[in-house]
Amino acid sequence: MILVPILLALAAQQPERPNILWITSEDHGPHLGCYGCPDADTPNLDALAAAGMRWERVWSNAPVCAPARTALITGVWPPSVGAHDMRTLVAPPPWLRFFPQLLREAGWYCTNNKKEDYNLAAPGRVWDESSRRAHWRNRPPGRPFFAVFNLAVTHESRIRQRPHEFRHDPATVRVPAFHPDLPEVRRDWAQYHDQIGLLDRRVGALLAELEADGLAEDTIVFFFSDHGPGLSRCKRWPYDSGLRVPLIVRIPPRWRALAPPGWREGGASSRLVQFLDLAPTVLSLAGIEPPAWMHGRAFLGPYRAEPLPYLYGFRNRMDERSDLVRSLCDGRFVYIRNEMPWLPQGQFLAYENQTPTYRAWRAAWQAGGLPPHLARFWEPKPREELYDLRADPDEVVNLAAVPGHERELARLRAALDDWLLRTNDLGYLPEPRLHALGPAAADYPLAEILALLHRGEAAAAASDDPAYLWWRAQLALHGETPPPPAELRRLAAHADPNVRLLGLEELARRGEEADRAAAVPAILALADPVAGDPWLALAAWNALDRLGPLAAPWREEIAALPVAGPSIPPRIAPNFAKLREHLLAGLRD
């Protein structure tokens, strides 16, 4: 009993420290009244912005939740630690900590209610509590808190729930230029705005709790979403439309010394901010110097630093489908590099296919008659894209091939290369090789791969590296003059399974009858996630699905492949059943 007064006395001697509240939401962009959206019904968020400041150009780094949240919790570019694919799970390097761990060590009570969904395994205990019961009200006396409340009412899945009583009229909502103006699209956008209105009411209730507890003047409040809207060409795509999010911060008067120069209530900042910056910013507000290994830059507090010169975005595997896209933005221009341009944007994704916009758009494309800027979602991608957000905020006019933009392209290409090399982006490794190598994956010839992809420069020093050979084979297979069958057979017999899989798939597509008869069974052998490498099996299932009808003679063997088992990593296990269902449905048709 004597201990309690002692602890209270010690707490009273501590310097005053601010509480920090994160209110996060899911799957929506800055479609709020305070950002000028005419369809918004957001009085509570608008009031929060009027009492604080909003940032005008904020990117989430990844356009889907798990990799985006990995950037948030670490302040580290996820591809630099192999945490870039959707719902992968990799071990963090020994030097990395999740930032709430650093807050807890400094005395903050840290709670999360309740979504985590990171691509990195936790390096020890992260939260004092992470559950639906987590709340600042559970903290010990005298301790400042860092509390996260994640509100999911705007998630992609809520946009497509029917029946729905519309508060917004589908006939009057704005349809962005990158979407076809179809009834299904209008209904989805109207319901999207309805859900943001519901979110606003939930935010208002949470802020009322803070006020009722007498903590509003002691608490710095952040509001932001995890990436762009849960509709095609937004979520999952590293355009501004998929990465731009709202960010509102309210700093009470007593903590105004932690605000940046130029702070004013109701104001807006043009500073470029990205999710990499959130972890160092919270640490700075707590008086903790951000670790040097964080890639982000604090924009509030005593450790405020100059911003990164660009916003950076990435896309790799999304659920069951592989891809590789990198993007960056200087505030005006968005530059996108499609490293696998032979793959369309609209690869079939079982989860996305549940959304009416996706299905209606695909049906309209299949029927023909869509204008080029709408049809290209379903067709092979350009190698590069460049958009001027001032003239073209919906990013539909690709300036990459338009004369007069050579200087901007050269600048942005060089900036992206510099970032990829400086962060040692591991996203250019085949996913199975990344997992097979583990920490050794960091030592691979990225500079030579980038030179090969973008300047056609063959590097003799890297010629034997399997990742380099994999990319060289990709370029050869998708070039104007594909290799002859003899070269395909050589690839199909390669020692590296990732290179071998490329050769087998192309032999099954273009080889002679005997080649096809041997290639598909060889792919089937790689596609067993229980008997073999599940990461390689996922790539093999994608190859089978791309072959489509060419795999029809082996339908029974495909149906017999296992898609579940204890040896399959749980975070990718659902993808096998999705791929099998899609492939077998196509073979029935």
Which residues are part of the catalytic machinery?
Answer: 65
- Give the span between the Cα atoms of 79 and 69, in whole angstroms: 13
Q: If 0-12 CB within 10 Å is exposed, 13-18 middle and 19+ buried, where does residue 585 land? A: exposed
Q: Show the tokens assigned to 339.
A: 């490293």
Which of 278, 320, 329 minimizes the C-alpha distance to 300? Answer: 278
Coil, helix or strand for 196?
A: helix
- Give the span between the Cα atoms of 463 and 445, in whole angstroms: 10
Residues β-bridged to residue 19: 219
Q: Show the tokens assigned to 135.
A: 């709340």
- Give the span between the Cα atoms of 364 and 361, in whole angstroms: 5
- Give the span between the Cα atoms of 241 and 54, in whole angstroms: 18
Which of 432, 473, 465, 431 minimizes the C-alpha distance to 448? Answer: 465
Residues β-bridged to residue 274: 59
Sequence-ordered strand ranges (E) for 238-367: 247-250, 267-269, 273-274, 311-315, 325-329, 333-338
Q: Show the tokens assigned to 266.
A: 């109701």
CB 543 within 8 A of CB 497: no
DSSP string, 77-145: -GGGGT--STT--BPPPTT---HHHHHHHTT-EEEEES----SB--SS---SEESTT--GGGSPTT--E
What CA dihedral angle connects 441, 445, 451 and 454, to 10 degrees?
-10
User: CB neighbours (10 Å) of residue 267?
Assistant: 12
- Give the span between the Cα atoms of 117 and 153, in whole angstroms: 17
> Which pairing describes strands 219-225 and 247-250: parallel, antiparallel, or unpaired?
antiparallel
User: CB neighbours (10 Å) of residue 329?
Assistant: 25
CB 572 within 8 A of CB 534: yes
Q: Show the tokens assigned to 490.
A: 């050589």
Helix, strand and coil content of the chain, in percent to the nearest 5, comes to 45, 10, 45
Backbone phi, then psi, for 220, in 5-degree steps?
-85, 125
CB 380 within 8 A of CB 343: yes
Which of 480, 417, 411, 478 minimizes the C-alpha distance to 450? Answer: 417
- Give the span between the Cα atoms of 210 and 153, in whole angstroms: 21
Helices (H), 493-560: 497-510, 513-526, 534-547, 555-560
- Give the span between the Cα atoms of 363 and 222, in whole angstroms: 41
- Give the span between the Cα atoms of 22 and 562, in whole angstroms: 42
User: CB neighbours (10 Å) of residue 240?
Assistant: 23
